[in-house]
Chain A
């Protein structure tokens, strides 16, 4: 059992039953040099799922920003804390058509996030910092935060229309 699994709450253990449907699971430490490892893993995966280059860049950008936020804000720059990244196929029905997409779940064991205090700064201010949330919002279709036991869970979803059979793994039908 790894470090973060040892900390799993009952809620998280229930979530982990879905792991068979996940396309990819990464476990890493909160070291910034590992961000490129996540980007390097996601790029070919998203490409294989049929996302365009632009969509692929958007997904990678959002995940990179979200993981950076975990490193900075949840772990305050500590370099050895656990982060888990799960990727799963998802589907949604819109006007009778099925949109397929990817769901990315990020888990960290930092303190609970007070979402009422999270605010993206106004974009008309020309100053450094505070852009990460704008970048995530501007890149993904869905962003959801949830406290899952002693873990923070961030769910990012991006949809695209995919040709059937692009990827062999069976996906979870829920979004």
Chain B
């Protein structure tokens, strides 16, 4: 909750400025709450609107579980590690 506004701002800026693909490394994110999920959903929507890809990798068990409970996991393009994400 305390970091979400900054993350959201950075994410949306990257999606607007970096073109066709944005890859988000979540391996350093041990915990994500609903406001963090909301920022990811905003990113997903922004990427769909601009026709770009929004890719996640390095999800912790906690992040994976919260996306699953929210029934959002299948909507995101998720890879286990950076190499897979870049090669996709």
Contacts and interface: CB of A to CB of B under 8 A. Distances in A.
Nearest to A53: B61
Given A131-B34, A135-B70, A68 B39 contact: no
Interface residues of A, number: 27
A11 to B, nearest CB: 30
Given A61-B65, A139-B69, A33 B2 contact: yes
A126 B44 contact: yes
B39 to A, nearest CB: 7
Contacts of B37: 128, 131
Interface string A16-46: 0000000000000000110110010000000
A123 B70 contact: yes
Interface string B28-53: 00010111011101101100000000
B10 to A, nearest CB: 16
Contacts of A71: 1
| Chain A contact residues, majority secondary structure | helix
A57 B34 CA distance: 14
Contacts, number: 63
Contacts of B39: 128
A15 B12 CA distance: 47
B87 interface: no
Given A54-B61, A68-B33, A32 B70 contact: no
Contacts of A128: 37-39, 41-42, 45
Contact of B33 (A65, A127, A134, A138): A65
Contacts of B70: 123, 131, 134-135
A68 B41 contact: no
8 contacts: A35-B1, A53-B61, A58-B65, A65-B33, A71-B1, A123-B70, A123-B71, A126-B45
Interface of A: 32-33, 35-36, 39, 53-54, 57-58, 60-61, 64-65, 68, 71, 123-124, 126-129, 131-132, 134-135, 138-139
